[in-house]
Structure 1
Amino acid sequence: MRSGSGRSLADMPLSRPVPWVSPVLYGAVLVAGLYAWLAGLGDTQPVLFTGGLAALAMLDLLERRRYPDLTPPRSAAVLLGARIALFAAVAAVDGSQLSRALFVLVPFTAYFAFGPAVAHALAAACALLLVAAAAVADPRWYANVEQVSDLLMFGVGLVLAVTMAAVAVEERRARADLAASTARVAELSATAERNRVARDIHDDLGHHLTAIVVLLEKAAAFRDRDPGAADHALVDAHDSARRALEDVRRSVRTLREERQFSLSQALTDLVAGQAGDDGLAVDLEVTGEESGHDAAALRALYRAAQEGITNARRHAHATRVRVAAALDATGATLVVRDDGRGFTPGREGYGLLGMRERVQAAGGRVDIGSAAAGGTVLKVTIPRRAES
């Protein structure tokens, strides 16, 4: 997934994916400072104190309005400097001393604008600055349990702030990657479905249209010499057109609902549809049980038989085709053998390409070549997949 600048979301610093952190911390500091002022604890200057926190809140609001998605690095650096100055000013007039916690926002904010390296460096700088301030105020600060405890808590706050920023960035990147992956999967699924529909159109309509063309050519050739044969060819062409329409309707229904597929029944219907008077005889033999075999494998065998018969009629000019399907515990095999002119290697059209794609998707292989006694032999072998 790319932005308009050409950088991926995963490579970009991400701006304010957890915008509630700063307001919550400002509110906690405000409550603690006002309580210290009302209780007479420390030397809180309420006007300057509340004014500084209001300025911080206004700065955040203006940044979000000016840069709703991503703050440019130069602007982010200027804003970070302004925040550090305001943090120091608020801490100077806060009698509760809780305002020092505002400095955990320095590495937290820097992580989104400049990345982890800068954030870690600033976290270390904030910790050292606080230690130096404590040492200036009390040279024996390390012997003061309260001082050490405060410094440790501040260190824990820095670690948690940087960790929260890192988690937020990775979560945002993971969402971007997931969105990109989902889009890619959808694109691949759409491509696969288009290819499947294209193969179905070729296998179904191509098969029937080939028969129709052959029959119409015969009707035209015999129109004057043998009107009866011409009429018979026209009737057969009409039947082929009707079967083509039925196949289209069946394909549309298949897109809407998944039905149980029977290879033996489909092959029987396919062979019965070849009973036209175009000189091509088709024999069928099916052995074995279909139960336990993958439906995609059985459909691939059917499409292979359909393509083999179509090529025997269209290209090989065969007079007889034998289709044999065998199913056993090891797998499924289909052999289509014709007595035509044979197969010329290197001349595979879209139909054979689609057949290979179907068979390979089912885990099988396709072998095709000329038989020793003449004609073409097409063999499809698909191993039986182990049940999961």
Structure 2
Amino acid sequence: MATYVPVRWVPPLLYGAVLVGGLYYTAADLDGGPGPAVWRTVGFVAAIGALFALERGAGALGTRRRAAGRMPILLARCALIGVVVLLDASGLSPVLVVLLPFTAYFAFGRTTALVLGALCLAGPLAAYVLAVPGWYRDPEHVSDLLMLCVGLVLALAMAAVAVGEQHARLALEGYAARVAELSAATERNRLARDIHDSLGHHLTAMSVQLEMASEFRALDPDAAQRALNEARRSVRLALGDVRQSVRALRSETPPHPTLAAALADLAHGGAVAPRVSVEVSGDQDGYGTAELTTLYRAAQEGVTNARRHARATRVSVVLRLAEDAARLVVADDGRGFTPAEATAGVGLLGMRERVQLVAGSVDIDSDPGAGTRLTVTVPRGTAGEA
């Protein structure tokens, strides 16, 4: 159960008002209470000072105190208020009784505060019934009870409003912490997809190119040199992707080449199997950056998988940019696979997440020995400039 903090200024304000009233009665010689006036005044001031100290100590403990520590504070406050009421000559001190259910609302909850408020009202009522015959015909006694009742209602209402505000603030802080966690998780997933799709693609190409350079070094030096040249080019592209990612993290605006030009880069490196052909038709105007990035990353993932796993000799990338949606098809003549057994792969998972974020769909058609056909459909204008 959450512990709420009472409104700190209310008890000291009431203590101060009662203290001023009691001292005024003493100074004006209006003191008609029992016992010697000097000692009664000293005790009255000491009790008020003890209440001030009690509130300060309770505030220092704050929300760290447990329920076992809150009960002694409530009992001490009740005893000191009783002493003040007994020694006060002004008759103003009964107003302090409303502080008991008020502070109990924060420490113990609404039910305890209501019960304590009922007891605070029942005490004077029982005293009138037992000691003042016909009290209900006396306007002063009836007025005192009504004022006490109104004061208790206002105190409980103020406590309820304060507790509600603190509860809402705690809930908002919890929601903010949850949103921060989700935002961090979303950003981690985005970075993971970017690393896999960009660096993973280029590292795969470099691996294949270096393997070919090693195999053809003695048999065909020219082919080995071309493979090394392509590996160097892949390194430059990887560095470019890293710089672009850093610019994105720094909120700098990177240059945006057309999607057709970006896809054409996938077809380079013809000296290294598989051979990639790219065909793009339509206008990319009206498609947001998120949509175009999703299409490019999906094509990149398809080509990377064909190079890494499919042992394909040919890969075709066909993109149709229509007025309502874009349709990307990446097909290879590799060894194929069973899609249901490969859905847990990081690359396919990241691609599906990207496509879902722009309200698109992914379809994979493949069988062992029959090649693979990846189809991605992305509606136009659903993501905007995300």
TM-score for the superposition, normalised by structure 2: 0.88
Matched to 1:375, the amino acid is G
Picking from 264, 274, 285, the partner of 1:271 is: 264
Cα deviation per residue 1:304-330 (whole Å; 9 max; x = unaligned)? Answer: 000011112222222322222223343
Aligned length in residues: 375
Cα deviation per residue 1:124-173 (whole Å; 9 max; x = unaligned)? Answer: 11112122334455433333334333322221211222222223333333
Equivalent in the alignment of 1:56: 51
Matched, 1:205 2:195: no
Matched to 2:268, the amino acid is A
| Cα distance, 1:68 vs structure 2 | 4.1
User: Which stretches of structure 1, 4 residues or longer, exceed 6 Å deviation after superposition?
Assistant: none
The 1:73–1:241 alpha-carbon spacing in structure 2 relative to 1, beyond 3 Å, is closer
CA separation in 2, counterparts of 1:378 and 1:137? Answer: 94
The 1:273–1:347 alpha-carbon spacing in structure 2 relative to 1, beyond 3 Å, is closer
CA separation in 1, counterparts of 2:255 and 2:338? Answer: 33
Equivalent in the alignment of 1:5: none
Equivalent in the alignment of 2:375: 379
The 1:363–1:206 alpha-carbon spacing in structure 2 relative to 1, beyond 3 Å, is same
Equivalent in the alignment of 2:313: 319
> Does the 8 Å contact 2:193/2:347 carry over to 1?
yes
CA separation in 2, counterparts of 1:382 and 1:34? Answer: 81
| Cα distance, 1:267 vs structure 2 | 4.1
Matched to 1:58, the amino acid is A
| Cα distance, 1:357 vs structure 2 | 1.4
- Equivalent residues in 2 for 1:1-388, closer than 5 Å: 11-14=1-4, 16-41=5-30, 43-44=32-33, 45-65=40-60, 67-136=61-130, 138-257=132-251, 259=253, 265-276=258-269, 277-345=271-339, 346-348=341-343, 349-370=345-366, 374-384=370-380
Cα deviation per residue 1:45-86 (whole Å; 9 max; x = unaligned)? Answer: 422322221222233334445x34344434433332232222
The 1:245–1:79 alpha-carbon spacing in structure 2 relative to 1, beyond 3 Å, is closer
The 1:352–1:267 alpha-carbon spacing in structure 2 relative to 1, beyond 3 Å, is farther
Between 19-28 and 44-53, report the one with greater CA deviation: 44-53
Cα deviation per residue 1:223-270 (whole Å; 9 max; x = unaligned)? Answer: 1121112112111111111111111111111222264886x8234234
Matched to 1:12, the amino acid is A
Secondary structure of residue in 2 paired with 1:363: coil
Secondary structure of residue in 1 paired with 2:310: coil
Cα deviation per residue 1:94-129 (whole Å; 9 max; x = unaligned)? Answer: 222110011111111222232211110010111121
The 1:96–1:190 alpha-carbon spacing in structure 2 relative to 1, beyond 3 Å, is same
| Cα distance, 1:296 vs structure 2 | 1.9
Equivalent in the alignment of 1:3: none
Matched to 1:350, the amino acid is V
Secondary structure of residue in 1 paired with 2:3: coil
CA separation in 2, counterparts of 1:386 and 1:340? Answer: 34
CA separation in 1, counterparts of 2:69 and 2:308? Answer: 72
The 1:48–1:261 alpha-carbon spacing in structure 2 relative to 1, beyond 3 Å, is same
Between 52-61 and 370-379, report the one with greater CA deviation: 370-379
> Does the 8 Å contact 1:342/1:369 carry over to 2?
no
CA separation in 1, counterparts of 2:131 and 2:86? Answer: 13
Equivalent in the alignment of 2:37: none
Secondary structure of residue in 1 paired with 2:217: coil
CA separation in 2, counterparts of 1:75 and 1:256? Answer: 51
Matched to 1:336, the amino acid is V
CA separation in 2, counterparts of 1:224 and 1:373? Answer: 32
> Does the 8 Å contact 1:37/1:46 carry over to 2?
yes
Matched to 1:105, the amino acid is L
> Does the 8 Å contact 1:30/1:53 carry over to 2?
yes
> Does the 8 Å contact 1:43/1:95 carry over to 2?
yes
The 1:291–1:260 alpha-carbon spacing in structure 2 relative to 1, beyond 3 Å, is farther
| Cα distance, 1:200 vs structure 2 | 0.9
Structure 2 unaligned segments of length 5 or more: list them: 34-39
CA separation in 2, counterparts of 1:316 and 1:123? Answer: 79
CA separation in 1, counterparts of 2:255 and 2:377? Answer: 19
> Does the 8 Å contact 2:216/2:224 carry over to 1?
yes
The 1:153–1:286 alpha-carbon spacing in structure 2 relative to 1, beyond 3 Å, is farther
> Does the 8 Å contact 1:371/1:377 carry over to 2?
no
> Does the 8 Å contact 1:261/1:299 carry over to 2?
no
